[in-house]
Amino acid sequence: MANTISKPKLSGKDFLTLSHLSKAEILGLLDEAVALKKQTNEGIREPLLKGKVLGMIFEKSSTRTRVSFEVGMLQLGGEAIFLSSNDSQIGRGESIFDTANVLSRYVDGLMIRTFSHDIVESYAQHATVPVINGLTDTHHPTQVLADLLTIYEHKGKLSGLKLAFFGDGNNNMCHSLIEGAVKVGMDIAIACPAGYEPNQEILQQMKQEAEQNGTKVEYSEDPLDVVTEADIVVTDVWSSMGQEDENDQRNKIFTPYQVNESLCENVKSDFIFLHCLPAHRGEEVTAGIIDGPHSVVFDEAENRLHAQKALLKLLLEDGGIKHG
């Protein structure tokens, strides 16, 4: 990744999806994350965001997102404020227009973890400070930044690798993995049952970009069609937040897509396994895989902190990245 750009910049003030970034911008973020992680491991913490405050709006529960953003701001010398829809005027129906305008006068950036992607786009439209998508039902770009950082650390490269995803293709992780993989020159193959294919608009957009840079985006109902020679194996829970009432139905549908020892006999011998967590051992993945020698899920979870610190630094250090 080195020698991509000396001082990475983002083309807009917000971070909503990976599809809006160029390859150089993503690699620049990852280079920044590598540098910040090295400093952290050496006990160096520069107060790059001293006096800066990140407002964090949570309409979905969280462990890794909340802790990594809070710790990231603290390690960079700033602060973070947690705002739940249960104990703020957001939960009583205050409009996004009003909330975004008011909070923009208090904080230096907003991170939002919510349901509909339209919500985070509306905040970005009305806020005058940078807005970060901490997760929506359609996209999870901060997680995939950490995934790309983890892959680079363990494989020494990104371009030319093959990533295989198993499970619900119409899933925020799958969508952001498609975008991230194509942007950095990685092939991605998705195994999902009929009716659970990736969002067609996202899929077609990224397939067009893949054709231009020589990468592949494929999906199949047969896991064996996509698993062969994979460098990276990824899955996610079969029922995301808000889908709990579908658990029994989804467990029956997705059982053939479980990542297990038999499936992984078909991948490369040095493959790595990723899962954004939380995981349900015995459902989407067996304990032997997620707790086995190929799993890097805890490196991946740690890298949420370092990737997000890079993002926060680039968005907030100079008062936000300007358009253009």
* Same fold? 23-139+304-317, 141-301: yes
Active site (annotated) includes residue 304: yes
Residue 147 pLDDT: 98
Paired tokens of 162: 């093959």
The residue whose two tokens read 């067996």 is: 286
Residue 322 pLDDT: 37
Q: Which residue has the higher pLDDT, 324 or 312?
A: 312
d(CA 3, CA 305): 23
pLDDT tens column, 228-248: 999 999 999 998 877 778 889
Q: What is the 3-state secondary structure (H, E, C) of 28-44?
A: HHHHHHHHHHHHHHCCC
Give yes or no for residue 276 having a pLDDT over 50.
yes
The domain 141-301 is classified under which CATH number: 3.50.50.60, 3.40.50.1370, 3.10.450.50, 3.40.50.170? Answer: 3.40.50.1370
Nearest 5°: CA angle at 305, between 118 and 107? 55
pLDDT tens column, 196-238: 999 999 999 999 999 999 999 999 999 999 999 999 999 999 9
Residue 9 pLDDT: 52
Active site (annotated) includes residue 192: no
CATH class given for the domain over 23-139+304-317: alpha beta
Q: What is the mean pLDDT of the chain?
A: 93
Q: How confident is the model at residue 4 (pLDDT cuts 50, 70, 90)?
A: very low
Catalytic entry in 31, 75, 137, 143: 143
d(CA 239, CA 89): 29
Question: Please, is 148 exposed, middle or buried when counting C-beta atoms within 10 Å of its C-beta (0-12, 13-18, 19+)?
Answer: buried
Active site (annotated) includes residue 66: no
Q: Please state the domain extents for the chain.
A: 23-139+304-317, 141-301
Active site (annotated) includes residue 276: yes
Catalytic entry in 75, 108, 236, 258: 236
> Which residues are part of a known binding site for L-ornithine?
172, 236, 240-241
Catalytic entry in 174, 192, 264, 276: 276
**The model's pTM:** 0.94
Active site (annotated) includes residue 275: no
Paired tokens of 229: 């020679």
